[in-house]
Amino acid sequence: MLSLSKLENGLIDAMAKAREVGPADADGAVEPKYTTSDVAGFYADAVVNYVKDAEIMMLYGPFMYPNPSGTPPLLPDVAAMTQTVAIQTADVGKAALQGAFQSSFEAGDPAMAIVTAGIIAYAATLTFWQGAYIPLYTATGVTAMALPPIFVPVLLGGLAGMEEVDCAKIMAAVIHASFKASIFNGVGTTLLLGVGPVLGQMLL
């Protein structure tokens, strides 16, 4: 399941790495230890690693499969409705998400509007889900982010002199709320090869 604390820790770590500097040169000057691309990757890693724990329920069916004789009537696979399936495509949109963070940093985008668009696009890549213990339970479809992440509170916190850790926690809360409000719609298949709709499922 999605863990707010895991996301908080990932973003706190990313922010800390962004401040690291390399060894001083002969004049005592220092340069950032990591490039903008590196730092964008740390932020993207924090989000992707958090999303890798996402699950949905196999609801609402019914998941119909032919009876053992192979002739009608179709029978409902009622056991499927107690199953959860976990995301399998969390890494698919990682490069694009990193690109969104990098573009935001390089553009001096204080409200992180580019990141907002990038996270919405990333959510749409969450298309395939599979049972962790029984892989034959699957769901394929589309995830839509109903509540876009708006990062103005992070900006306002920074302007008010808020500690970096607290800014990271606000950022995590914004992202977490958006993923928890995301909705999956698609088609599920079951252990008994039943097929049916998986509709209106929020991420767990």
- pLDDT computed for residue 64 by the predictor: 87
Q: How far apart are CA 21 and CA 130, in angstroms?
A: 42
Neighbours of 142 (CB within 10 A): 13
pLDDT tens digits in sequence order for the chain, 204 residues long: 999 999 999 999 999 998 888 776 666 676 778 999 999 999 999 999 999 999 999 998 888 887 666 666 677 888 888 899 999 999 999 999 999 999 999 999 989 999 999 999 999 999 999 998 899 999 999 999 999 999 998 888 877 878 889 999 999 999 999 999 999 999 999 988 889 999 999 999
Closest CA to 15 of 180, 156, 162, 176: 162
Give the DSSP H/E element, type plus range, for residue 16. Answer: helix 4-19
Q: What is the pTM assigned to this prediction?
A: 0.91
Give Cβ neighbours of residue 20 (< 8 Å, ≥ 6 apart).
32, 33, 34
Q: How far apart are CA 66 and CA 54, in angstroms?
A: 31
Q: Say if residues 192 and 77 touch (Cβ distance below 8 Å).
A: yes
Give Cβ neighbours of residue 188 (< 8 Å, ≥ 6 apart).
58, 61, 63, 80, 85, 137, 138, 139, 140, 195, 196, 197, 198
- pLDDT computed for residue 25 by the predictor: 63
| Annotated domain spans of the chain | 4-202
Looking only at the bridges linking them, the beta strands covering 74-76 and 128-130 are unpaired
- pLDDT computed for residue 12 by the predictor: 97
- pLDDT computed for residue 4 by the predictor: 98
Q: How far apart are CA 15 and CA 125, in angstroms?
A: 25
- pLDDT computed for residue 71 by the predictor: 62
- pLDDT computed for residue 76 by the predictor: 83
Amino acid at 190: T
